[in-house]
Structure 1
Amino acid sequence: MPKIVELRQDRNLIRSNFDGYKLSLDAVPLIRQELNKIPYKATQNDAQYSLLHTELFSMQNLLYADPWCRTTTYFVSTQGEVVCSNYDESIGRPQAPQVVYRMKSEKPRVNGDYNYSMRFISEKYCVVCNGKRQIFLLETGDRRKLLEWKQVSSAEICNAEESCNFTIQDCRLDIIQEQKQISMILGNIQTKDIANGTSNHYMHLYWAKWVQNDTWTFNILDSLEGRGSLYYCAFEPRSESLVLCSNREIKFKSENEINTIGTEVLEKPQLHTEKNENSGFQWSQTDEDITIKFDVKEDKEKTDYNVKCTSDKLTVKCSEDTLLDKVLFSKVDQDLTTWTIENNFLQITLSKQISSLFWTSLLENGEGPKETLDNINSNPIPMEQQPIANLEAPIEDCDFPIGIMDDEIKIERFNLPTKSVTHSVLLGSTPPLFSTSLRPGFPLAIATRQDVDACLWLQQYNPSKPDVWALRHEGNLHAFGYVQASKQQKKFMDCSPDLNYAIITESHRHIFLYKSNYDSENSLRNRHGPQVQIGKQHLITLDNVGEVLGMATAATVVTFLTEKYLLYLQIN
């Protein structure tokens, strides 16, 4: 049973007096650089019709920023050339694009091949996948000097079906006991036929490792599969665990094979049985509390119930009937025990004596029903009737995601040695907004909507305590969660590494730039209220540039890759 982790906002990062964005008519410099190399954009074939295929082919960012030098970006041309574009901050102009590597001659690309993908794993190494079955480890040298790249090693992914194509979802370099190890997640979409003649599409994630001995050795360690969209994928340091976010369940494929033999499904051993004499209630836990819920019996009132709690035992009675009288899994603070009856539930809240201790069961010796992860803490009031946080700002239709209201989106931490999910973050039905690199060499940060804001979270991991894991609130994009909800045509979203601005781009027409500070702001105040802070919004219109294929952010410039141009939006 995974441990439930809560997202806890740092109140010091939230601006309670932020009053939205003001549209600015100031011009934002946009430099166009005509392309002499055409970017490669993959095309789906007739068999690739699912939503997973559409997301993979249409929403992939084809412009890759160097995390160690954010103003330097790369894309791959139709000729298999890695093209570098560099914006020189000292003169405020881009340099001419330059080819730094050419893929070896390969078979002509056809519809259905995936896009090229690349990841920079250090200041001198890069991993590239050709969208088929080959991956390359390249030595880039000092990338600031725009040197020609050299191939160190290559590998062909052979543990998969003949027709499989692949894309890199994440890649990380770790040096363990003076040995270089490159861990990577390679994704591809497969189709499975089911009994009634229809088929389902699955995202398969291959967990692979490249290890340097005398030569580089490539192995696939395991694989995971799920039917949902993949919103986030990032290794933690040392790459023993992987953090994924999806709207459907993801499992280790080896686990599925072990549990399924022919048509017979072998049930996994469970700590608790469904049929139990103490199954008339449900329970859940946080780091500090235990919540238990009983259904209120008909014609019974609060005075008919009696709850008695000691440090290690809980007794619940209704009139003469004993609903529960058992020893608890661990000790609680009896002085902080509370209980109430609301919405036809008797709800009891216990406070753990040992915070962050994960209870594998409610009662000692593994007795009692399993922990309920879904709906135990859900609000019984329908969403349209729930109060909104800011009563001055009426709720709008765009605040509710379309078509995903029934999805349960989770961030989960998968541990390879134990092949299990150790931690889980419940996001409800609202998917993450985007993921971005804030610091080179660190896992990607993930942005989620919290009320009207967008909060960025970084993995918090201590190698000496592998069982302790959390997401730390790293920064805040004020009111960005609210403004992005109305942009129905958005393709890419991102922010600067210093979080001074956020940006949204459509596929063809508009760019929306949001700066957290208004340049001319000087002690703005409401007429009868305190001082407020406002941000600045810019609207940039794109004319005849073709489809936007990629975007990369830096502190002073945003680079866009389109079908015809490289565009440089100067922030300062």
Structure 2
Amino acid sequence: MASSNYSLKVHRELLDPNFESYRLSLDAIPTYNIELDAAVEEVKLKDTQYTLEHMRAFGMYNYLHLDPWYEDSVLFVDCKGRVLSLTVTLDTALGKPREVYCIAAEPGRREDRLCPSLSLTSATWAALSDGSSRLYLLRTGKRGDGSHVKWELLFSEDTGEPFTILHSVSHVQAGVHAMEVLLLRIQKDPQETKGSGFSVSLEWVTVANTAGHGQEKNYEVRKRRVLSGKSVPHYAAVEPQGKGLMVASEKPFVFTHVDGRPVEQPQPGTVEVEKTDPIYFWQQTAEDVTLWVRMPEGVTKEDVQFKATADNLSVGVRGFAPLLEGQLHASVDPEASVWIIMNDKSLEVTLQKRSEGPMWPELVMGDRRGEFVMSDEQAALIHERLTHLTSEDLNANPDGDKPPCNSQELEDCDGFPEDSSSLTHFDEESLRPTQVVNLGSHQYLFTVDVDPSEMPCLCLRHDVDALVWQPRPNQPGDMWEHIATFNALGYVQASKRDKKFATCAPNFSYASLCECLRRVFIYRQPSPVETVLFNRKQGRQVGQVAKQQVASLDSDKPILGFRATNERLFILTSANLFVLKVNND
């Protein structure tokens, strides 16, 4: 299956071009503090883990896990290997986090040990890593009912090398329960001689119940797939039914192994692609469009089948399928459309545009078999307009009061990474990318679980705003849907030099950022104001105001975990779990 380029479609009705700014609110945020019985162990990177990819993967790990199936429920692992759970129902009566599982102590601690990682696979299952090399799949039961039943281990495997769990899903197909788990590793690569000497590996493991009906459950690995790349992915998640995978990263990933067997990679230069000549050429002016369609030699006017309506065009030869047929990019005047046979082998067609001025990016929508030919007059005009961009004069702008843009005058948060990230959808059967989005300057901001039955959403910067995208793998034509916008958050977050984590409420009522120490910033969506306010510059009444709030934690410990629900913010340090009551709804 060949990959196709895809563009993210922004929903204009979700944008606010009139958004002005966030107003600082001094309203106090109720903050509650839970002192932990045992510290959360922050795993420090070793001297051998010196690359930027190690820092991105393990140094910025979020130790706190939000349960998307049960509201206001969070989990984390402490230094004793205990998986602790806290469900908040009443802020003023917070209990201690309760132990739901304990990782067995290993005989000797590995030097390259990572932090334990947890992924809540479904409402009743979870995947757990001990930070070394062992993967656990656990049946949790219903976690949010307050019973805190101990989790049951149903699968355990030593994978040989340390990893963290990025994502996991649970599904049932043909009556067989299976779990898809995505593991991240950074490994020594002997073939990497120019760079850091490390490569990034994603292992996609499928574990299924092999026991028959009525027998005791027996989970075994059914399939392993390994992807390799050169950068830690910003986003990586498996589809709900395990039929595909989505990865957002600066460098591309490719499947290299399936069940231990190498995957054949297409070698550049070994496959010759036949180049097909265009079947038509076309030009345009502000008033009309002219196209030339190849016809069989010796064709007569009686053989030509031509039909033009206001929005559609069909050109062909009698007895054959139409050579060119489809919806035009814009409307034309069918009464003014004419055609003529040229040199007995081509048909020249002239279409009169209904709207003069706008230039068409394509002739027939979705048809890529033609070639646009620029006229001499258009080429000369464009050359004249762009001459100043190639001038030897440093300031080629003739207007003295409009000097050219100086990059030194830009703020740091206006810059974008040099590497161009991409968002790729891989098909599980072919192991090939089916759709690729070039993210370009759309900086990745954070990932958030909005609907546990869907894939996690990713938030990207678009201009100054932050846009939330929901993957829809069952809709190939609209695979990423724009579902929410946080005004100016893309610009605001880029100005926070000490920013560590970012997230938002699942209902998008607010977004939040935290620094490495103490400070938390909350950015609320615009809401109606009770009093009458006027914009002094524009002289108009202001009906809505977006508020910014700042909270400072009573702790000098680094922030290790940061999660948001619709009502609360949960912040984890090595010694404390803070609960901030953000909304009272």
TM-score range, shorter chain: 0.7 to 0.9
Partner of 2:243: 240
Q: Which moved more, 1:187-196 or 1:50-59?
A: 187-196
Residues 141, 335 of structure 1: alpha-carbon distance in 2 compared, 3 angstrom cutoff: closer
1:396, CA displacement in angstroms?
A: 4.5
Aligned equivalents of 1:397, 1:480: Cα separation in 2: 15
Give me the whole-angstrom Cα distance separating, in 1, the residues matched to 2:150 and 2:269: 51
Match of 1:167 among 164, 167, 184: 164
The correspondence of residues 472-487 of structure 1 with structure 2, limited to 5 A, is 472-487=481-496
Larger Rg over CA atoms? 2
Partner of 1:187: 184
Contact residue 448 and residue 457 of structure 2 kept, 8 A = yes
Query: Letter of the aligned partner of 1:96 in structure 2?
Result: K
The answer to whether structure 1 residue 433 and structure 2 residue 435 are counterparts is no
CA contact (8 A) 1:18 1:532 kept: no
Matched, 1:512 2:509: no
Assess, with a 3 A threshold, how the Cα gap between structure 1 residues 257 and 149 changes in structure 2: closer, same or farther.
Answer: same
The one-character-per-residue Cα deviations of 1:18-55 (angstroms, maximum 9, x if unpaired) are 22101112211111111112113222222110111011
Q: 1:431 to 1:490 in 2, by over 3 A?
A: same
Residue 197 of structure 1 and its aligned partner are, at CA, apart by 7.4
Which residue is 1:51 aligned to?
52
Cα gap change, 1:270 to 1:123, in 2 (>3 Å): farther
Structure 1 pair 108/399, CA: closer, same or farther in 2 (3 Å)? same
**One-letter identity of the residue aligned with 2:498:** Q
**Counterparts of 1:179 and 1:418, CA distance in 2:** 22
Structure 1 gap ranges (5+): 279-289, 295-301, 314-326, 340-346, 364-378, 386-393
Instruction: State whether residues 449 and 457 of structure 2, in contact with CA within 8 Å, keep that contact through their aligned partners in structure 1.
Output: yes
1:269 matched to which residue of 2? 271
Q: Kindly state the Cα deviation for residue 308 of structure 1 after the two structures are TM-superposed.
A: 3.9
Tell me, in whole angstroms, the C-alpha distance in 2 between the residues paired with 1:271 and 1:92: 69
Partner residue of 1:547? Answer: 558
CA 486–362 in structure 1, closer or farther in 2 if over 3 Å, else same? same
Corresponding residue to 1:559 among 554, 561, 570: 570
Map 1:421-500 to 2 at 5 A.
421-462=433-474, 467-500=476-509
Aligned match of 1:203: 200
Which amino acid in the other structure matches residue 413 of structure 2? D
Contact 2:244/2:427 (8 A) holds in 1: yes
Count of aligned positions:
488
Q: 1:270 to 1:220 in 2, by over 3 A?
A: farther
Letter of the 1:117 counterpart: S
Find 2:225's aligned residue among 222, 225, 233.
222
CA contact (8 A) 2:329 2:364 kept: no
Shift of 1:56: 1.7
* AA partner of residue 485 (structure 2): N
* Distance of aligned partners of 1:100 and 1:260 in 2 relative to their CA distance in 1, 3 Å threshold: closer
Shift of 1:500: 0.7
Q: CA deviation at 1:268?
A: 5.4
CA distance in 2, matches of 1:235, 1:76: 24
One-letter amino acid matched to 2:238:
F
1:140 lines up with 2:140 in the alignment: yes
Q: CA deviation at 1:506?
A: 0.7
Instruction: Output the amino acid matched with 2:107.
Output: K
Task: Provide the C-alpha distance between the structure 1 equivalents of 2:437 and 2:331, rounded to a whole number of angstroms.
Answer: 26
Give structure 2 stretches of 5+ with no counterpart: 212-217, 296-320, 333-350, 352-358, 372-385, 391-395, 397-407
Tell me the equivalent position of 1:21: 22
Match for 1:140: what amino acid? T
**Runs of 4+ that moved beyond 6 A:** 327-330, 379-382
* Distance in 2 between residues matched to 1:247 and 1:38, nearest whole Å: 35
What's the Cα RMSD here? 3.6
- Give the secondary-structure state (helix, strand or coil) at the position aligned to 1:54: helix
CA deviation after TM superposition for structure 1 residue 352, in Å: 3.6
Q: Distance in 2 between matches of 1:329 and 1:134?
A: 60
Q: For 1:197 and 1:88, how far apart are their aligned partners in 2?
A: 54
Q: What residue identity is the alignment partner of 1:400? A: D
Tell me which residue corresponds to 2:102: 102
d(CA) in 1 for partners of 2:426, 2:137: 26
CA shift in 2, pair 1:474/1:73, >3 Å: same
Q: Distance in 2 between matches of 1:198 and 1:485?
A: 28
Question: How far apart are 1:230 and its partner, in Å?
Answer: 0.9
